[in-house]
C-alpha cells in the first residue's frame, strides 16, 4: 500500500476496511494514520473491537461538537480539546496508551496533546479493526452518521508506545519504524463496500 490511500467517497453504513491481526493481547498500543476530510460532523477514524469490548476496545474519533480529538480504551473515552482540525487538509494523528501507567496521549500534526489517565487493564481478545466505520458490535453495528468520508493513508499499529522521536518522524514523513501489528506497506486487509484504492496525491516538483 506504499504510495496508496483508501478513498471513502460517501457516507454509508456498509463501506469499510477490515483487518484481523493475529495478536490478541495488548498491554500497550500506538496507532498512527493520516486523514483528509471535509466532514462537519463527528466521525470514526480507527475502530478496534474485541468480543467483550466491541468497537470501544480501542478507538480514535473526531468529535466535531466539542470540537476535540477523542480516543477510547475499554469503553473509557478521553477527549483532547482545543485542536485545529482544518477541513480539506491532511492531518497526521498518533495515539499512544500504556497499561503500566494507564496513560494515553494523542499527537496532531507534530504537536503532542495533554497526557491523560484511562485504565491499567490490558486489552484482550481476538481483535477486529475497521477503518471508516465505528463498530457498535463485534465487526458490525455500523451507522452512516458515524462513518468517515474522505481519504486515509499510512495506517500503522504497534504493540508498544512509540517514542516521541519516532512519532515525529512519522508526522514529518521521514523514515520510521513501521508498525509491528499493522504495517501500511504490507497491509493485510479486506475491503467491504465502496472503498477505492487510489494513488496518494503529492505536489509536483
Q: pLDDT of 141-178, one tens digit each?
A: 999 999 999 999 999 999 999 999 999 999 999 999 99
Res 52: pLDDT: 85
* pLDDT (tens digit per residue) in 105-126: 999 999 999 999 999 999 999 9
Tell me: pLDDT of 83 over 60. Answer: yes
> Which domains, from first to last, does the chain contain?
4-192 (2.60.120.200)
Residues 17-38 have a mean pLDDT of 96
Residues 63-68 have a mean pLDDT of 84
Tell me: pLDDT of 89 over 90. Answer: yes
Res 53: pLDDT: 76
* Average pLDDT, rounded, for the chain: 94
Res 55: pLDDT: 57
Query: If 0-12 CB within 10 Å is exposed, 13-18 middle and 19+ buried, where does residue 58 land?
Result: buried
Amino acid at each position: 500500500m506504499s504510495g496508496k490511500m483508501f478513498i471513502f467517497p460517501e457516507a454509508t453504513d456498509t463501506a469499510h476496511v477490515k483487518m484481523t491481526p493475529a495478536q490478541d493481547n495488548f498491554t500497550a498500543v500506538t496507532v498512527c494514520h493520516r486523514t483528509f476530510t471535509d466532514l462537519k460532523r463527528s466521525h470514526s477514524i480507527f475502530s478496534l473491537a474485541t468480543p467483550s469490548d466491541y468497537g470501544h476496545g480501542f478507538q480514535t474519533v473526531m468529535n466535531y461538537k466539542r470540537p476535540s480529538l477523542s480516543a477510547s480504551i475499554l469503553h473509557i473515552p478521553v477527549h483532547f480539546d482545543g485542536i485545529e482540525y482544518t477541513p480539506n487538509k491532511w492531518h497526521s494523528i498518533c495515539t499512544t496508551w500504556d497499561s503500566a501507567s494507564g496513560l494515553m496521549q494523542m499527537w496532531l500534526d507534530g504537536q503532542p496533546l495533554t497526557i491523560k489517565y484511562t485504565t491499567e487493564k490490558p486489552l484482550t481478545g481476538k481483535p477486529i479493526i475497521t477503518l471508516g466505520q465505528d463498530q457498535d458490535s463485534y465487526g458490525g453495528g455500523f451507522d452512516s452518521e458515524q462513518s468517515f468520508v474522505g481519504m486515509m493513508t499510512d495506517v500503522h499499529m504497534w504493540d508498544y508506545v512509540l517514542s516521541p522521536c519516532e512519532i515525529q518522524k512519522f508526522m514529518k514523513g521521514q523514515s520510521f519504524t513501521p508498525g509491528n501489528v499493522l504495517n501500511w506497506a504490507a497491509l493485510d486487509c479486506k475491503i467491504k463496500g465502496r472503498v477505492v484504492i487510489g494513488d496518494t496525491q503529492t505536489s509536483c516538483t
